[in-house]
Amino acid sequence: MITTLFYILFLSPILGFAINGINFRKSNAMLAGIIGTSAVLISFIAGVLLFKEMLNVENKVLTVHFFNWLSVGSFNAPASFLMDPISGIMTLIITGVGSLIHIFSAGYMSHDPRPFKYFAYLNLFIFNMLLLVLGDNLLVTFVGWEGVGLCSYLLIGFWFSDEKKAAAGMKAFITNRVGDAGLLIGIFILFSQLGTVNYYELNQYATSLTMESGWFGPITLAMIFLFIGVAGKSAQIPLYVWLPDAMAGPTPVSALIHAATMVTAGVYLLIRLSPVLVLAPNAMMVVAIVGAMTALLGALVGITQWDIKKILAYSTVSQLGYMILGVGVGAFIPAFFHLMTHAFFKALMFLGSGSVIHSMHEEQDIRKMGGLAKLMPITHLTFFIGWLAIIGLPPFSGFFSKDEILFYTYASKSSSILLWIVGVIGAGCTAYYMTRLMCLTFWGESRVSKEVHPHESPISMTFPLMVLALLAAFAGLLGIPHVISEVLPGHPPNILENLLKPYVAKISKHEVTASVEWMLMLISVLVAISMAVLSYMIYVKKTFNIEAITKKISFAHKLSYNKFFVDEFYFARIINPIVLGSKALWLHIDVMFIDKITYFITDVIRTGGTHNKSLQNGNFQNYAFYMAVGIASFLIMVFAF
Amino acid sequence: MPSLESISQIGLNHFLYLSSVLFVIGLLTVLMRKNLIVILMGIELMLNAVNLSFIAFSSYAGDVHGQVIVFFVMTVAAAEAGVGLAIAVAIFKKFKEVEISFFQKLKG
Amino acid sequence: MLLSALIFLPLVFAIVIAFCPKDKIVQPLALIFSGLLFALSMVLLFNFDPSTAAIQFAEKANWIPQLGIKYFIGIDGISLWLVILSNFLLPLVIIGSAKSVTTKIRSFYAALFILQASMVGSFLALDLILFYIFFESSLIPMAMMIGIWGGDKKIYASFKFFIYTMFGSIFMLGSIICLMLLNKTVTGSLSSDVLELYKMDIAFIDGRLFSTQTLLFLGFAIAFAIKVPMFPVHTWLPDAHVQAPTPGSVILAGVMLKMGTYGFMRFAIPLFPEASQQLSWVFSFLAVIGIIYGALVAMVQTDIKKLVAYSSVSHMGYIILGLFAFNELGMTGGLYQMLNHGLSTGALFFLVGMIYDRTHTREISAYGGLAKILPLYSIFFLVVTFSSIAVPLTNGFVGEFYILMGAFLANSVWGSLGVIGVILGATYMLWMVKKVFFGEENPGLLEHKLSDLKTSEFLVLVPIVIMIFWMGLFPNHFLQYSQKSISNLTENVSNYELTLHDKDRKELISQKNNNL
Amino acid sequence: MQPTVKFIDFLLVLPMITLFVFSLLPIALKVFVRGNEEAKADVNVSLSVFGVFISLVLMIMFHGRIFSDGVFFAFSQALVFDQFTFLSSVLCYVLSILALPFILNHPSIRKSQLSEYVFLYLNSLLGMMIMLASNDLIMTFIGLELMSLCLYMMITMNHEIHHSKESAVKYFVLGSMASAILLFGISFIYGSAVMISNGQIITNYSTLVEVASQLIATDRIFLIGYALVLIGFGFKISMFPFHTWVPDVYQGAATPLTLYMATAVKIASILALARFLMLDVLNDSFALSTTLQWIAVLTMLIGNMGALAQSSMKRIFAYSSVAHSGYILVGLIALALEGGPFTANIESLVLYLLGYGLFSVGTFGFLSFLEKSFDDDIQLDSLKGLFYRSPWTALGLTFCLLGLAGIPPTLGFFTKFYIFSTAMGEGLYWLVLWALINSVIGVYYYLKPIVLMFFYQSEEDIYLADNHFQKIIFLTVGFLSLVGGILLPVIL
Amino acid sequence: MISAALFYGFSAFIIIFALAVLFAPNPIVSALSLAATMVGVAGLFFALGSHFIAAVQITVYAGAVMVLFVMVLMLFDLKKEDAVSAMYVRFLKISVAGVILGLISGAITLSGFASNTTIMSVDTASVTPTKKLAVLLFTKYLLAFEVLGILLLVIAIGVVSVSRIKGGTHAKS
């Protein structure tokens, strides 16, 4: 039963991939959409059933063993899978949100010449993502890890005729490769230390180890290397650069891969290994700091962007930053919670932007939009809910998850007040630029050029929006913190926490009174609201002249507008030197040095030949002379010894 | 510094010195003269030196084999001279020339 | 008898083809023959007993007793797959060369079969001199292939190839002779039988460079390193690859380079265990350099074939890295990577050849947007690319992962440095793919009206792709055959011994009795 | 002691006598039967081939059968007949039989004097036989002289007028100078030996062996003598720096004759030198052995380098034969160091010489039927695309070249392997390493003709003499060089 | 034991004429001085007590061979040779020859023959040295003797045929 369900779970996407892939030449968007969507739907259903099964078994863990994949000597990485609450919820998110996005794509890609190819890739992505989350050892996860990277490469470069897009895909893949290299080394270290790559065994052995204080303890190193991989996949500093470019792909792809699922893989991995992670406080510190920085940086950059998708991308970066921050401070469950909520509302917003872009005929610049609210009401409504969620207004989902993280950041022993401040500032910026986005896109007077006539999208696109809107609105109720539930009637339990507690590491946090907790919530909410109001006044009411302000802080503005020149820095300092260096290597080592040596040797021999020619000058008296010299030297030798 | 005694006492080594001097002179003739015939003469000189040393050895050792060998050597030498001159004649008939500088076409 | 058949049937075939009356039937004939050989190798596979590290199907006969040379061939888990690989590639090469070889067909296929014989021979030989003979005689047909059917600088390339490799193997010959003489001082009889030589322990003073064993090891190592080719002595490879015709490059990359790594695995390491461990750091170092250097240099090539050639320098570096990790993971990875590299790089050369036959240019800049023009071709190319950059679920990943892990466990520095190659590998391949397949169509391409893959080309590519995924998904289907041999090698390197499989031993004994 | 000439002595020299008699036959035919008219070419040639063959058969009969075991002396120890004599004479016989047919209608051989030609040919062979069987320095010398004098005259009797005469003069002058040096050396050896001997034949090897080591210890003059004799031989076997005559003379002489010189003559003198080296002096004299090793290295180097710079095939092969005498010297040194009577090292040497001889027959024979007039000198480029004109010839030559280069699986590899392994067995590691490196250098110019034959298309038509004997011999040699390795157990 | 005067006289004679062979510009002169040298050598042979060889030396060499040389020279009637190689070349050649001479004579000195100054007379009561020589020649050295006979025959025929050749169908010159 369970095995069959697993088989269905995995095979239906791969089957969809196969079917779609085989007739990749056809261009019947409808058919392709049906095949692709149904494939994912089936696996969603299977996932749900499995989830129920899992809840029924007492230790809430299902494992299934397919076949021996890699096994040499003591090293053993079977193709076997496990479903516990963590991976279960992930599965549901992936397949659920996935199927919604498939439906959306059916509408979105209706005019595309090669829809089959598109859905094939999408299904393949779902398959790999499932591998990633369900694998019961690091290797299977790694397979999915690289697989999703591959799919994102293919999907970003889906419109490959435009070399920029192809380049963006390549950038994504290679940046991820850098991360994967780190991940590999992390795996090596873990294996060399603990002798296994299976999650449960790792976590068990970990409990027997003592906590490491230094920087170069094996676990610390392993975790830092792992975190390099995470940074690659979850777009953290310094490897986040690929994510904004990844917006080159079709918008649903951005929704699915670059907002909802793939980018959260890193967070997932860290939560999986939390029992090992907590052994390395230094590593956690690094994680936390990087997360906070990323959160802030994303938010800051988001403030000044004009491209709607770019804004969403940077907000994704910053939200991921929050999750990582949460992991870093040991708020594993909140981080996971935020992962989930973020999956909903960010997917929602991306799809919304997709619908906007679709109706604006591929126009992405928000300066050319405005006043779309009345033209496309459903999109507007759903997007509005998403907005409320992301800026963290109660009772919408974003509020609960983000505040949990911030609270832990404040309270955790392995954290500091600074991180909390950074988090709050980030939250404020988020509120600001999301509101800005809303204002410029939907509210205010229309700046839409004459030839485009925006219109509401077809049902196939709006339906997913609505579903996601509901989720975005109420998913938060899965994890109501105690302080709130105490005051609420009936004390609704924190379902998520109860579910996940046994599977993540516990970390000690300061005792904090309820009042302080309320306090913190209040602060962050207030900050969010005030910033939102501010940007509303700027962009709709025009109370302040934004140009003037920009002038005043032009430097900061330039910095933020140009994404802190990070890409430029990378090109100038890392990529170009490598390329030039390799040119030099080839020229000076291969061509000039090694080959030169061989030529030199041959030349020596040849010149010997020519000299011999000149000695051999035909005059036999000279030959006789050579003989005489030979005799002399021969005799000298005889005497010499 | 050889003592007077060793100079007045003519021993085997004197003969050997002589023969080696003769040999070297023959060698030099081969090396330095430009005329084929004279070069042949040089070879004859060398052979004479050989004979001399043979005889010297044989008589100082009181062993007659040396003389026999010398007998053979002479014959061979005569034969060589014959062949050499025959070749010389064959060439001369054609080219009216036995200068060795004439034989420098084959080289390299 | 089976193994001898695998060695000598190709020779017979070569002769038959050489005398084949008309050129039309030559290629089909060759195809049939190669199919026969492949079938034979399958028989071999099915009768192979994976449960032992012993030598199987051994055939032993005194050849030149005065020189102690025996005709002694046999197979074990290490050589099995290489033999099968070469027999697997041969039919594909023959199918593939229908296009690219149009002149002097008969001589070409004759040369191909002779080459096949010598390569299989060198994988099967268990007698050093016999091995040397096969090892060397594979040079002539290969040089012929490059020189007759090659590109515009073919003469230079074939000379370079021949003399470079010859120079290396000379040193091996020297140390083979020394080895035999040493063995003579021990056993009193001249013999180049490897199984016998394994037993001998050669003088080795630890901590001192250039003890007897080290020198002998270096003699072997130089030969194999040039063949592989390892970093400082790799310069013959790009020229040879670029100038060689497609089938030539495929064979060269697919099988011939493996003769070097196989040599390390079969001869250099087990014969001189202490020396090879003493010098392992040198070789790991050179391997790592090769990995990174090859990748970096590949990144700046403008000629597709050159790029692939340098990529194989990088990949072969992985193999060496794995072998000199001296642990089971590394060795297994090394062996597996030999097969992977044979498949993926072979396939890459096939693909490059196919597009070259269409456009007659190998300049990357002359391409662009191929994915629009030749979608199928591009799909195959992409798949093979992924295999060569070791994307999981393709064969390349398994090999590379094993190697890197083994290397890491042996020495974390080399392992970690090797991982850099993973990044660079992706970089240059994807860069090339981007330039060639993506972006706007290059107007130059539209002139020759390009047609997508033909059936014959499918026949070449499909099996390889199938193998790529099969080997990626179920490595154990393949490795179970080699597992015993490898563990035997890694567990007791320092007192390595191989025995004959029981059934063979009985047979040989009975033969001896019959002779008496 | 009462020296008498026994009947058995005559039996032993019967092959030589036969040889002489048969050498007289063509002239007798010319003078007495046909009234000073030249008999048909093939009559002369086949007659002499027959003669050589008969005497070879006799040789085998006597030594192979009757005297298969043990060592026999003839004419009061003037000649010795042991396994070494047997092997080497058979080798020279075979090679000269192979070489003979090539003079058939070769443009530069005088039809009008063919009978004298074969007369000289057989007598030079006779000289070789005496040299090979000689147990006495004097006999060796006389044999050598007989051989070389015949050669001088044969070279002179060439259609081509200038080059042949020039090479004859060069060869003659340098050769007789060398033999003078040889004699001088002999006189010293004789002298230093006679002083401590008591009345037996001093120049006799079997007595020299006994006194040699004692003489080295006491007597400087003996070493000098030995060195001079080595030099005298060294001239014949073209060891550096006494090799300079080789390219010129080989080029000037008629190609069939070059073939003969490069194979039979050279090999005979090498084997004679081997006999002389077996006096077991090198073991006691470090100086000599070191010198010889250096000379060996230089010889290979000069040969290979020289060959690299040539464009004329004949000169290339000439230089390659110089290089090969370098490799052979390696074997000779090993032999000398091992010392003593018949040993395994001799086997390796003889085997190497056999291989070398066969391949040289191949290469020079190939040239000899590529030449269409007596004065043309085959250049490398004229081989272009030969394979596509006459594949068999090209293949034959290819195998011979590969054999000379010592590339497996040709016979050449095995002979090289054998000789080098024996040398290493004597501890000459560096020497062997040098030899190996040199053989790589050699590969370059051995490949060149192959490359030209296979990798190019021919511009102009290539002349090929259609002489069946020659073709057959040529192809057999090529074939042998290919399968020789497999047949090796049979040969050994 | 021969008198020093005799030896030095003869050797001076020999060396002078040998040098004349070497340096005389005119071939004829060198030929005649060669003859003189040979006579001198013969004299030394005589002094050393090997009379037969001395006689042969006179007859064969100074007689036959020299006559041959002179005759050939007459046949060619060459004028005095002009070509003289450059100074440094001659110096080089002479010095090399000197080195050889030095080495050999050094070896002779080292090998201590000086002590040995008495000529062993080989004649015993019955046989004179000449007879002994003859006996040796026809017993021990029989084969060599015969072979020499063959050699002479070969030479005779060969020389004739060599000098009979008329230059080939063409002549380079």
**Angstrom distance (rounded) from CA B83 to CA D465:** 34
Q: List beta partners, residue C193.
A: C127
Joined together, the tokens standing for residue A175 give: 């940046």
The predicted pLDDT at position C516 comes to 47
CB burial string A483-517: b at 16+ within 10 A, e below: bbeeeeeeeeebebbebbeebbbebebeeeeeeeb
Residue pair A386/A470 in contact by the 8 Å Cβ criterion = no
Which residues have CB under 8 Å from E25's CB, separation 6+? E80, E81
Contacting chains of E (3 CB pairs or more, <8 Å) are A, B, D
Segment B14-29, tens digit of pLDDT:
899 999 999 999 999 9
E135: which chain D residues are within 8 Å (Cβ-Cβ)?
A: none
How far apart CA D131 and CA D213 sit, in angstroms, is 24
Find chain D residues with C-beta within 8 A of A605's C-beta. Answer: 304-305, 308, 441
User: B56 contacts in D (CB within 8 Å)?
Assistant: 191
Residues 6-35 of chain E whose Cβ lies under 8 A from any Cβ of chain B: 7, 11, 14-15, 18-19, 21-22, 27, 30-31, 34
pLDDT band at E120 (very low <50, low <70, confident <90, very high): low
Q: Which of D415, D436, D482, D487 best probes binding to C when mutated, by most C CB atoms within 10 angstroms?
A: D436
Distance from CA of D92 to the nearest CA of E (A): 19
Q: Say yes or no to pLDDT of C381 above 80.
A: yes
Please list, in sequence order, all residues whose beta carbon lies within 8 angstroms of the beta carbon of residue D149, skipping any fewer than 6 positions away: B79, B80, B83, E151, E154, E155, E158
Predicted pLDDT of residue E136? 85
Are the CB atoms for A233 and A145 separated by under 8 Å? yes
Q: Taking CB atoms and an 8 Å cut-off, how many pairs form between chains A and C? A: 127
Q: Distance between CA D440 and CA C170 in Å, rounded?
A: 8
**Mean pLDDT over residues A14-20, rounded?**
91
Nearest to C262 by CA among C120, C384, C403, C390: C120
CA–CA gap between residue C194 and residue C311 (Å, rounded): 33
What is the model's pLDDT at position C336?
94
Span C359-384, average pLDDT: 89
Mean predicted confidence (pLDDT) in D90-108: 88
**Rounded to the nearest 5 degrees, what angle is found at the Cα of D180, between the Cα atoms of D174 and D183?**
145
Contact present, D75 and D5 (Cβ < 8 Å): yes
Subunit contact E151:D149, Cβ cutoff 8 A: yes
pLDDT for C328 beyond 50 = yes
In the block, tokens 């002979």 appear at D415
Closest alpha carbon to A504 in A337, A290, A342: A337
Q: What is the pLDDT of residues A115-169, one digit of tens each?
A: 898 999 999 999 999 999 999 999 999 999 999 999 999 999 888 888 888 889 9
Q: In Å, how far are C204, C349, D445 from C171, measured between CA atoms?
A: 19, 31, 20
The C-alpha atoms of residue C216 and residue C514 are separated, in whole angstroms, by 38
With residue E91 as reference, give the H or E element that holds it: helix E87-110
- Judged against a pLDDT cut of 60, whether residue E122 lies above it is answered with no
SS (H, E, C) chain D: CCCCCCHHHHHHHHHHHHHHHHHHHHHHHHHHHCCCCCCCHHHHHHHHHHHHHHHHHHHHHHHHHHCCCCCEEECCCCEEECHHHHHHHHHHHHHHHHHHHHHCCCCCECHHHHHHHHHHHHHHHHHHHHHHHECEHHHHHHHHHHHHHHHHHHHHCECCCHHHHHHHHHHHHHHHHHHHHHHHHHHHHHHHHHCCCCCCCCCEHHHHHHHHHHHHHHCHHHHHHHHHHHHHHHHHCCCCCCCCHHHHHHHHCCHHHHHHHHHHHHHHHHHHHHHHHCCCCCCCCHHHHHHHHHHHHHHHHHHHHHHHCCCEHHHHHHHHHHHHHHHHHHHHHHHHHHCCCCCHHHHHHHHHHHHHHHHHHHHHHHHHCCCCCCCCCCEHHHHCCHHHHCHHHHHHHHHHHHHHHCCCCCHHHHHHHHHHHHHHHCCCHHHHHHHHHHHHHHHHHHHHHHHHHHHCCCCCCCCCCCCHHHHHHHHHHHHHHHHHHHHHHHHC
Task: List CB contacts of A538: < 8 A, sequence separation 6 or more.
Answer: A436, A544, A546
Tell me which of D209 and B43 has the higher pLDDT. Answer: B43
Which of A619, A629, A633 to mutate to test binding with chain E, by most E CBs within 10 Å of its CB? Answer: A629
Half-sphere exposure of A45 (CA within 13 A, CB side): 9
Pairing of strands D79-81, A75-83: unpaired
pLDDT category at E117 given cuts 50, 70, 90 is low
Whole-angstrom CA distances from A65 to A6, A78, A79 are 10, 7, 6
* pLDDT tier, B1 (very low <50, low <70, confident <90, very high otherwise): very low
| More reliable by pLDDT, A12 or B98 | A12
Mean pLDDT of A266-293: 91
What pLDDT does C504 receive? 73
Pairwise CA distance, residues A482 & A488, whole Å: 10
Whether the predicted pLDDT of E124 surpasses 60 = no
Q: How far is D418 from chain C (nearest CA, A)?
A: 7
Nearest CA in chain B to D155: B87
Q: How far is Cα of residue C287 from the mean position of the Cα atoms in its chain?
A: 16
Average pLDDT on B51-70 reads 88
pLDDT of residue E20: 93
Tokens 């509101």 belong to residue: A435
Residue among E104, E144, E158 whose CB faces D153 most closely: E158
| Span C244-275, pLDDT tens digits | 999 999 999 999 999 999 999 999 999 998 88
Q: Please answer yes or no on whether D173 and A620 come within 8 Å at the CB atom.
A: yes
Nearest CB among D130, D160, D218 relative to E147 is that of D130
* Residues of chain D contacting B26 with CB distance shorter than 8 Å: 180
Q: Is the peptide bond before C229 cis (omega within 30 degrees of 0)?
A: yes
Q: Which two tokens stand for residue C89?
A: 């590639």
Quote the CA–CA distance of D86 and D81 in Å, as a whole number.
7
Q: Do D290 and A613 touch (CB under 8 A)?
A: no
Phi/psi at D369 (5° precision): -105, 15
Give the whole-angstrom CA distance, residue A253 versus residue A347: 10
Chains in touch with A (3+ beta-carbon pairs under 8 Å) read: B, C, D, E
Mutate to test the interface with A, among D192, D240, D305, D443 (most CBs of A within 10 A): D305
Enclosing H/E stretch for A68: strand A62-72
Percentage of chain A lying above the pLDDT 90 cut: 35
**Residue range D305-362, pLDDT digits in tens:** 999 988 999 999 999 999 999 999 999 999 888 866 666 778 889 999 999 999 999 9
pTM: 0.92
User: Is D165's CB within 8 Å of B23's CB?
Assistant: no
Range from A365-374, B71-80, C181-190, D475-484 that averages highest in pLDDT: B71-80
Q: Determine, for residues D436 and C64 on separate chains, whether the beta-carbon distance falls below 8 Å.
A: no
Residues of C in contact with D447 (CB under 8 A): 143, 159, 162-163
Please give the biggest Cα pair distance in chain C. Answer: 77
What is the pLDDT confidence band of residue D1, given thresholds at 50, 70 and 90? very low
In the predicted model, what is the mean pLDDT of chain D?
A: 87
B abuts E (3+ Cβ pairs < 8 Å): yes
pLDDT reported for residue E173: 36
Q: Mean pLDDT throughout C317-331? A: 93
Within 8 A of D291 by CB-CB distance, chain A residues are 634, 637-638
At B79, which amino acid appears?
Answer: A
Q: Is the pLDDT of residue E172 over 50?
A: no
A82 forms beta bridges with A63
What per-residue confidence (pLDDT) applies to D188?
A: 92
User: Are A632 and E106 an interchain contact pair (Cβ–Cβ within 8 Å)?
Assistant: no
Is the pLDDT score of C78 beyond 60?
Answer: yes
Binding-site residues on chain A for chain B (CB distance < 8 A) = 613, 616-621, 624-625, 628
Q: Residue D272's closest CA among D172, D349, D360? A: D349
The pLDDT tens digits for A473-525 are: 888 888 888 888 888 887 888 888 888 888 888 877 777 888 888 888 899 89
E60 touches chain D (CB under 8 A): no
Q: Considering only residues 149 to 168 of chain D, which have any Cβ-Cβ distance to chain E shorter than 8 Å?
A: 149-150, 153, 156-162
pLDDT class of A403 with cuts at 50, 70, 90: confident
Instruction: Measure CB to CB from residue A628 to each of E100, E106, E107 and give the nearest one.
Output: E100
Tokens representing residue A621 in the block: 């008296």
pLDDT of residue D273: 93
Shortest CA distance to A195 belongs to which of A184, A181, A206? A206
Average pLDDT over residues D387-404: 89
Mean pLDDT of C159-179: 91
Taking 50 as the threshold, does the pLDDT of residue E171 lie above it? no
Lowest-pLDDT choice from C11-15, D50-54, D231-235, D479-483: D479-483
What is the predicted pLDDT for the residue at C509?
66
* A498's tokens: 């109860």
Is D202 in Cβ contact with B63 (below 8 Å)?
Answer: yes
Return the number of CB contacts < 8 Å for B and E.
Answer: 234
pLDDT of residue D201: 66
**CB contact (8 A) between residue D424 and residue C171:** no
Report the distance separating Cα D360 and Cα D356, nearest Å.
6
Q: For residue C405, with 0-12 CB atoms within 10 Å meaning exposed, 13-18 middle and 19 or more buried, which class applies?
A: buried
Question: Residue E170's pLDDT is what?
Answer: 42
Per-residue pLDDT band for A451 (boundaries 50, 70, 90) equals: confident
Residues B25, E19: C-beta atoms closer than 8 Å: yes
